[in-house]
């Protein structure tokens, strides 16, 4: 069999939701916080600089429903939700998790906010 186009080893879903000024609900991209606006670009650039952009796919996504902990990013496979992101944290996640294979547990969302998933089979009508 011919080798196909390889799958990405990881997808990194960075929440890019922003809220207009004055909105009571927090959002991951904040109008008054330039670093929060630069995180996706920083993620993509760092993946490029490290030569791994072909095997790690950064994705801009809408709200992931953990807005209070933003900026957030979900890494798949593994269902790992990183919270309170900064540029430095993203670099460490790439080095230690994506390249090194170890989840950076100090940046992972608290278990109380990220309980075990409910099986769709258990609730489907």
CA-to-CA separations, 113 to 15, 18, 20, 61, 104, in angstroms, rounded: 17, 21, 25, 20, 17
Site of interaction with ligand FES (CB under 6 A): 15, 17, 27-28, 63-67, 70, 72
- Closest approach of Cβ 30 to ligand FES, in Å? 10
Residue 33 token pair: 């916080």
Q: Which is nearer to ligand FES, 17 or 46 (CB)?
A: 17
Output 50 or 66, the one with its CB closest to ligand FES: 66
Sheet with 56-61, strands from edge to edge, namely 56-61, 10-15, 73-76, 80-82
Q: What is the DSSP letter of 90?
A: H
- Residue closer to ligand FES (CB basis): 12 or 15: 15
Nearest approach, Cβ of residue 51 and ligand FES (Å)? 29
Report the nearest approach of ligand FES to the CB of residue 50 (Å).
25
For ligand FES, the closer CB: 59 or 67: 67
Q: How far is the CB of 22 from ligand FES (least distance, A)?
A: 16
Check: CB of residue 93 under 8 Å from CB of residue 82: yes
DSSP annotation of 65 reads: S
Q: Which two tokens stand for residue 107?
A: 């940046």
């Amino acid at each position: 069999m011919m080798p196909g186009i390889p799958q990405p080893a990881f997808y990194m879903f960075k929440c890019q939701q922003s809220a207009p000024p004055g909105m009571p609900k927090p959002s991951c991209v904040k109008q008054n916080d330039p670093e929060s606006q630069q995180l996706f670009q920083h993620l993509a650039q760092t993946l490029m600089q490290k030569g791994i952009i072909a095997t790690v796919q950064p994705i801009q996504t809408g709200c992931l429903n953990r807005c209070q902990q933003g900026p957030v990013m979900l890494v798949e496979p593994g269902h790992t939700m990183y919270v309170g992101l900064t540029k430095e944290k993203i670099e460490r996640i790439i080095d230690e998790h994506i390249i090194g294979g170890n989840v950076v547990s100090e940046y992972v969302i608290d278990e109380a906010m990220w309980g075990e998933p409910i099986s769709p089979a258990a609730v489907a009508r």
